[in-house]
Amino acid sequence: MPAATSRSSLQVARYLLSLAAGAAMPLGFSPFDFWPVPMLAVGIIFLLTRTLPVKTATMCGFLFGVGMFGAGTSWIYVSIHEFGAASPILAGLLTGLFVLGISALMIMPVFLLYSWLNQRKAGPLPPWQQALMFSGLWVLFEWVRSWLLTGFPWLLSGYALLDTPFAALAPVIGTYGLSLLLVATVCLLFALIIPAKQQRTPNIIAFFIALAGWGLSWPLNNMAWTEKTVISPSAQYREISPQNLKWDPDFIHTTIINYIGLSEDQWQQELIIWPENAIPLFYNRARGLMAQLDRLARQNNSTLILGMPVDDNAGSETRYFNSILSLGEGYLAADGPGRYDKQKLVPFGEYVPMESLLRGLIDFFNLPMSEFSRGDSEQTLLKAGEATIAPYICYEVVYPDFVAQMAQESGLLITISNDTWFGKSIGPVQHFQIARMRALETGRFMIRATNDGITALIDEKGGVVKTIPRFTHGVLSATAEVRTGQTPFMVYGSWPVLLLGFLMVILPLYFNIRTRRQ
């Protein structure tokens, strides 16, 4: 075989292996939960790109991202096709563009920078330093993914450790810290099998330091970062409404009657929660209904928290918000305390980027309720009796530091969601796993109420206390604890981990240059 053909075949094999390794990553997350798989996938792509030229390594990283997001966010196709009225071809095209775009912006730069820094004129880094640099870049770009272009912190490596004993580290170092530990450990382990002329002692020391980090999880498993103060019986609901009918005027009455019927025997509960957009009417068109529900809640010394869109006429023009309202014991007014407006909006679902160009181009860019405004960053938390509640609407729960910051002044977390958009895909299960991690990071009970998806009560360890199966109507009655105290992650956020990741990138370069000059 000619040498050129052999090299070409080898390159194709590298690309296919990169794609396959990326596609295997989602097996570490729910609903599969094979948590060692991401370690193996990351280890393979680290070894594969360690000595490749910058261009080839960058392409391998891009294909790794395509595999990961192509397999792990396939639910985007469901949202666009089934609920965005796009044809299979158009939905496939838009999903493909999303996967290619996020791979190019969020994954490919890790490999571009890693390969470029690793092959500076000072000479290739020793394997253990390559492992540290790769791990640092990995976690830094997971963080970048949480805010760049409004953010998409989905499929973070640390989520794979949620249902393992090592999850006890989450209240201390957060999800990004778990990601760093997972990636650094496997890269250092794989670095040990690389033949090297340099002394192997630093590699062994670094690997055992990483192992010690895993070992800290055992004493932390018995650590109680927060303590119970108040116990609040609560009821959460699931009402299945076809997404294509939810905003149909002829179907709205049916939706409201269903919720009122489900609540008929639950008004004795201290807290009743209906999911996102449970009332598919703007607030100003439903004032009579809101007054009726408020009276019912007050008569029973109860608080009703529900999701509905709000049309705010306070300014020169009407603005629309995806909101949570608190009625009864927690109610004051729709434009004051007792209302929370969503801050983290979903592109295309709740607002249209470059609206003047895209609005009306295809049905997907003209979805119902896609003209929302962003809520203010300084909002009063909700109240229910003696409990102060940090509320999150749907997608907001995927942002680790955002959730932790809002939780600081609260004793209980509530997230409402309309997971109907995910259909029967793996999206709702992934979303639920993410919500559980937020409860663990903050040491708070979380009540999760969904139109579909998984409605559940989650405890302060991220464990599932009680749940309603998907695709069924139902009422979940359970007792939620209100807790005080703060976890280290709530106090310091992700900054210590990000600083460590930055040092893991910079210090190998410094030591290598210094060594070459001696």
Annotated catalytic sites, by residue? 276, 342, 394
**Angstrom distance (rounded) from CA 227 to CA 480:** 13
481 DSSP β-pair partners: 231
Q: Which two tokens stand for residue 318?
A: 């009407």
Residue 370: closest CA among 352, 393, 395: 352
Could you tell me how far CA 390 lies from the centroid of its own chain? 17
Residue with tokens 């999303």: 98
ω into 171 cis (within 30 of 0): no
Sheet with 271-273, edge to edge strand ranges: 339-341, 319-328, 303-312, 271-273, 227-238, 474-484
**Angstrom distance (rounded) from CA 461 to CA 444:** 8
- CB neighbour list of residue 238: distance below 8 Å, 6 or more residues apart: 275, 449, 450, 451, 452, 455, 468, 472, 473, 474, 476
97: exposed, middle or buried (C-beta count within 10 Å: 0-12, 13-18, 19+)?
exposed
Q: Are 375 and 343 in contact (CB under 8 A)?
A: yes
